[in-house]
Structure 1
Amino acid sequence: MNVFYLHTSPIEAARMHCDKHCCKMIIEYGQLLSTAHRVLDGTMEWGQTKTGRKAKRWRLPDDRERELYLASHIQHPSGVWVRSSSGNYDWLYNCFVTLCAEFYKRYGKIHETARKLTFPLQIRPQNISMSDMTEPPQCMPDDAKIVGSSLDAYRNYYIKYKHEFAKWKMGNIPSWYSDNLEKGEYALL
Structure 2
Amino acid sequence: MNIFAVDLDPKFAAYSLCDQHIVKMPLETAQMLSTNLSLWGLDHEYKPCFHNHPCTIWARQSYLNFMWLWYHGASLCYTYTLRYKKVHKCEEIIRNALKSLQNGLKKGLVEFPAKGLTPFAQAMPEEFKQENAVEAYRSYYKGAKLSFARWKYGGRPAWAK
- Given that 2:19 and 2:153 are in contact with CA atoms closer than 8 Å, whether structure 1 keeps it comes out as no
Q: Which moved more, 1:103-112 or 1:117-126?
A: 117-126
Once the 2 structures are TM-superposed, how far is the Cα of residue 99 of structure 1 from its aligned partner?
Answer: 0.6
Matched ranges for 1:27-66 at <5 A: 27-39=27-39, 41-42=40-41, 60=42, 64-65=43-44
Q: What is the match of residue 67 of structure 2?
A: 90
Matched ranges for 1:1-189 at <5 A: 1-39=1-39, 41-42=40-41, 60=42, 64-65=43-44, 68-115=45-92, 117-123=93-99, 124=101, 125-126=104-105, 127-129=110-112, 131-146=115-130, 148-178=131-161
Q: Secondary structure at the match of 2:149?
A: coil
Runs of 4+ in 1 over 2 A off after TM superposition: 123-126
Matched residue type, 1:21: H
User: Relative to total residues, which structure has the larger helix share, 1 or 2?
Assistant: 2
Once the 2 structures are TM-superposed, how far is the Cα of residue 107 of structure 1 from its aligned partner?
Answer: 0.7
- Given that 2:33 and 2:94 are in contact with CA atoms closer than 8 Å, whether structure 1 keeps it comes out as no
Gaps spanning 5+ residues in structure 1: where?
A: 43-59, 179-189
Measure the CA separation in 2 of the matches of 1:171 and 1:105.
9
Once the 2 structures are TM-superposed, how far is the Cα of residue 70 of structure 1 from its aligned partner?
Answer: 1.1
Measure the CA separation in 2 of the matches of 1:75 and 1:171.
33
Once the 2 structures are TM-superposed, how far is the Cα of residue 128 of structure 1 from its aligned partner?
Answer: 3.4
May I ask how many residue pairs the two structures share in their alignment?
Answer: 153
Once the 2 structures are TM-superposed, how far is the Cα of residue 135 of structure 1 from its aligned partner?
Answer: 1.9
Once the 2 structures are TM-superposed, how far is the Cα of residue 144 of structure 1 from its aligned partner?
Answer: 1.2
User: Relative to total residues, which structure has the larger strand share, 1 or 2?
Assistant: 1
Gaps spanning 5+ residues in structure 2: where?
A: none
Once the 2 structures are TM-superposed, how far is the Cα of residue 122 of structure 1 from its aligned partner?
Answer: 1.7
Once the 2 structures are TM-superposed, how far is the Cα of residue 5 of structure 1 from its aligned partner?
Answer: 0.4
Q: Which has the higher contact order (CA 8 A, sep 6+)?
A: 2
Q: Deviations over 1:68-124 (max 9, x none)?
A: 111110111111100111010000000000110100111111111113x13311232
Measure the CA separation in 2 of the matches of 1:19 and 1:128.
35
Structure with max Cα Rg: 1
For normalisation by structure 1, the TM-score amounts to: 0.77
- Given that 2:29 and 2:73 are in contact with CA atoms closer than 8 Å, whether structure 1 keeps it comes out as yes
Measure the CA separation in 1 of the matches of 2:118 and 2:74.
20
Cα RMSD for the two superposed structures: 1.4
Q: What is the match of residue 57 of structure 1?
A: none
Once the 2 structures are TM-superposed, how far is the Cα of residue 157 of structure 1 from its aligned partner?
Answer: 0.3
Fraction of identical pairs, as percent? 33
Once the 2 structures are TM-superposed, how far is the Cα of residue 172 of structure 1 from its aligned partner?
Answer: 1.0
